[in-house]
Amino acid sequence: DFGCGVGNFYGELTHFFPKALYTGVDTSKDSIEKARSKFQNKDAFKIYDSQEWKTYKYDLIFSAGVFHHIPHLEHSKIIEKLTSYLNQNGKLVIWEHNPLNPVTQKIIKDCPMDENAVLVSSKNIKIHFEKAPLSNVKIFYTTFFPKFLSGLNFMDPFLGWLPLGGQYIVTGQKS
């Protein structure tokens, strides 16, 4: 979990996949300390600069809403580095906010946590994946409907090709 913050994904992951081995990584020591205080498995959370997590290979590296906080010039280097930590056939998955969606733009603009954030296009992430190199690179768009239209969420999988969703997911595999 690259950019794990305070570890919110850890609770969900262990609920649905209790046998999964989890490693959460973040640059914020404060966030890592909060994550360690929230969960019993304190060793699951690592500071980004530590070598400890970099000695392993992973089947899946996931990053949610992180890359728009990282300077765009660093994306390629970070994606290449994350790819190097994957096992053969391991997957890299990046979930991000879609800059093509005007509602998403407004939400990010108004969010204090995203004050200096710069949204990144799915096509740019895809280019970095292909240079990494990752194969079978795919883009899926999601989150098409606001809460008051949540009854239509069943349609998200059918609209994944449409670049208007509020978020997107880029996946790639190390071959």
DSSP string of 110-130?
H-GGGTT-----HHHHHHHHH
Rg of the chain over Cα atoms, rounded to whole angstroms, equals: 16
In order along its 175 residues, the chain shows pLDDT tens digits of: 999 999 999 988 888 998 989 999 999 999 999 999 999 888 999 999 999 999 999 999 999 999 999 999 999 999 999 999 999 999 999 999 999 999 999 999 999 989 999 999 999 999 999 999 999 999 999 999 988 999 999 999 999 999 999 999 999 999 9
The H helix count followed by the E strand count for the chain is 6, 6
Which amino acid appears at position 150 of this protein? S
Residue where the block lists tokens 């997107």: 168
Coil, helix or strand at residue 94: strand
96-146: per-residue pLDDT in tens? Answer: 999 999 999 999 999 998 999 999 999 999 999 999 999 999 999 999 998
What number of CA atoms fall less than 13 Å from residue 90's CA on the CB side? 16
Read off φ and ψ for residue 47, nearest 5 degrees.
-75, 140
d(CA 24, CA 11): 11
β-strands 86-97, 135-142: how paired? Answer: unpaired
Residue carrying the six token digits 């990144």: 120
Residue among 29, 97, 28 at smallest CA distance from 65: 97
Please work out, in degrees rounded to the nearest 5, the angle formed at the alpha carbon of residue 137 by the alpha carbons of 15 and 114: 60
